[in-house]
């Protein structure tokens, strides 16, 4: 996957020589290599599930969810045939349930239009629900073993630490050409998995040992607190509705939600906010509405 259809970007003067940088990163990555269950896997679907689960979720929490999800839905066709409540039930605990719905829609599309197979190019992958540039590049690199421009948080951390040690608010547009040039260097391109596994592991090491370099990215933002947030209330409402296979009155869900909020020493949720949350969840496909009844 090239960023431009014309000439590829070049390595700027003033940075460490490209050959030295790539060689050093490969050595560092080998030293810090982590054995993770989704590594050295060439099933594009299994890789996609791992990449989507790893979005906004810590590595330590993903392993058991990934294995359990694939045991229940081992192929795109199996996921396409599953009921949405069953998919969401297995996703509970990972958070950001929109990811599960997007993955389900991708499975539906691939089952209907692609004989249950994922595309092999980043551009085609990005046309599917919930797959952005980084996720698509991850599938290309890890499943298909082809060079790609994979800029996610740990990769960003490495490039900021190594190449922009003193700069603040570094935009991704300054990083992307460098990530591309390095990824297509012969040493990195010979084994894209090794290249990006190394960057991911070095980035994780940096975050644990030095002030997080990714804070110097222009795209860095602190995650808002979950407890008491709209996101927390969305998750609670989703769980409550999915726990009632025959459906549950919206008024009952609001009553139970406010009881839970009171037990957590938080203010009650007013009707307008609750209606807005329900409207969003219905429109996003988490459950349906039959009059006043919310149905999984």
CA-nearest of 110, 133, 109 to 121 is 133
Q: H helices within the chain, ranges in order?
A: 18-31, 44-54, 59-72, 76-81, 84-91, 98-113, 122-126, 133-142, 153-163, 172-183, 186-189, 192-209, 230-242, 250-263, 271-284
Q: Is 51 a catalytic residue?
A: yes
Catalytic annotation, pick one of 20, 35, 51, 113: 51
Per the CB < 8 A criterion, the answer to whether 241 and 287 are in contact is yes
Q: H helices within 55-121, ranges in order?
A: 59-72, 76-81, 84-91, 98-113
H or E element: which one contains 96?
A: none
Burial level of 41, CB count in 10 A (0-12/13-18/19+)?
Answer: middle
Distance CA 251, CA 150 (A): 46
CA-nearest of 170, 96, 179 to 137 is 179
Distance CA 113, CA 76 (A): 12
Residues catalogued as catalytic: 51
């Amino acid at each position: 996957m090239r960023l431009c259809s014309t000439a590829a970007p070049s390595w700027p003067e003033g940075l460490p020589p490209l050959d030295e940088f790539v060689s050093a990163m490969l050595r560092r990555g080998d030293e810090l290599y982590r054995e993770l269950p989704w590594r050295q896997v060439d099933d594009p679907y299994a890789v996609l599930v791992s990449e989507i689960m790893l979005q906004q979720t810590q590595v330590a929490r993903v392993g058991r969810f990934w294995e359990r999800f694939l045991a229940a839905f081992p192929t795109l066709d199996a996921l396409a045939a599953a009921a949405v409540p069953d998919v969401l039930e297995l996703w509970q605990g990972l958070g950001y349930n929109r990811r599960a719905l997007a993955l389900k829609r991708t499975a539906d599309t691939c089952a209907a239009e692609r004989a249950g197979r994922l595309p092999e190019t980043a551009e085609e992958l990005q046309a599917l629900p919930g797959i952005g540039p980084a996720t698509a590049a991850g599938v290309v690199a890890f499943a298909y073993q082809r060079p790609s421009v994979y800029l996610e948080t740990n990769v960003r951390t490495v490039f900021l630490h190594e190449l922009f040690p003193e700069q603040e608010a570094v935009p991704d547009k300054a990083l992307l050409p460098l990530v591309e040039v390095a990824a297509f260097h012969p040493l990195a391109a010979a084994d894209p998995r090794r290249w990006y596994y190394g960057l991911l592991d070095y980035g994780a090491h940096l975050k644990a040992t030095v002030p997080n370099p990714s804070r110097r990215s222009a795209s860095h933002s602190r995650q808002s607190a979950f407890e008491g947030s709209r996101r927390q209330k969305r998750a609670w409402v989703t769980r409550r509705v999915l726990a009632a296979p025959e459906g549950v009155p919206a008024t009952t869900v609001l009553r139970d939600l406010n009881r839970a909020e009171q037990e957590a020493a938080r203010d009650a949720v007013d009707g307008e906010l609750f209606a807005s949350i329900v409207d969003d969840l219905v429109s996003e496909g988490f459950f349906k509405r039959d009059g006043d009844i919310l149905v999984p």
